[in-house]
Homo-oligomer: A and B are copies of this chain.
Amino acid sequence: MRSEPRVTVWNEYRHEHANPAVAAIYPRGIHEALAAPLRAVGLDVATATLDEPEHGLSTSRLAKTDVLVWWGHKAHGEVADEIVERVHARVLEGMGLVALHSAHFSKIFKKLMGTGCDLKWREAGERERLWVVDPTHPIVAGCPEVITLPQEEMYGEHFDIPPPDELFLLSWFQGGEVFRSGCTWRRGQGRIAYLRPGHETYPTYHDAEIQMLILNAVRWAAPVGAATPVRGNRAPLEPLGG
Copy count, this protein chain: 4
Contact of A122 among B154, B229, B234 (CB under 8 A): B234
Query: Chain A: how many interface residues by the 8 Å CB criterion?
Result: 82
Q: Which residue of B lies closest to A159 (CB)?
A: B133
Judge whether A229 and B157 touch: CB under 8 Å: yes
Given contacts A162-B185, A163-B134, contact A230 B120 (CB under 8 A): yes
In the complex the two chains form, what is the Cα distance from A233 to B229 in whole Å? 34
Chain A residues with a Cβ under 8 A of chain B = 1-2, 4, 92, 94, 111-116, 118-122, 124, 126-127, 129, 131-138, 140-146, 154, 156-160, 162-163, 165-167, 170-178, 180, 185-191, 219, 224-241
**Sampled A-B contacts (24; CB under 8 Å):** A92-B160, A113-B114, A120-B232, A121-B233, A124-B236, A124-B240, A129-B178, A131-B156, A135-B158, A135-B228, A136-B189, A137-B224, A141-B224, A141-B225, A144-B227, A145-B158, A145-B227, A156-B234, A163-B165, A163-B166, A172-B172, A172-B178, A174-B241, A175-B235
